[in-house]
């Protein structure tokens, strides 16, 4: 099955990794909780946040280097 995504909507694997890293950095960082009167992770977990950060697309879905 061939990908029918327009070329202008495609991103490289490096661009995808940067976007995921920026999202995780924005979502999981310490912030002050006025209700708990303590520092907690921005996702709501206690620090240190050990939640599993799921990446929506694994490497198996990305094209191999020889295909590019």
What pLDDT digit, counting tens, does each position of 34-52 carry? 998 988 888 878 887 776 6
Instruction: Report the pLDDT averaged over residues 18-45.
Output: 84
20, part of any domain? no
39, part of any domain? yes
pLDDT at 6: 67
Cis peptide before 24 (omega within 30 of 0): no
33, part of any domain? yes
45, part of any domain? yes
62, part of any domain? no
CA–CA distances in Å: residue 50 to residues 4, 16, 29, 65 = 38, 23, 12, 33
7, part of any domain? no
36, part of any domain? yes
Domain count, the chain: 1
pLDDT at 43: 81
pLDDT at 68: 47
10 Å Cβ neighbour count for 20? 14
Full residue range of the structural domain in which residue 52 is found: 29-56
């Amino acid at each position: 099955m061939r990908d029918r995504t327009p070329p202008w909507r495609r991103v490289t694997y490096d661009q995808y990794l940067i976007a995921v890293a920026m999202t995780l950095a924005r979502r999981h960082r310490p912030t002050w909780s006025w209700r708990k009167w303590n520092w907690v992770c921005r996702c709501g977990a206690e620090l240190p946040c050990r939640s599993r950060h799921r990446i929506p697309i694994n490497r198996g879905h990305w094209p191999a280097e020889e295909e590019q």
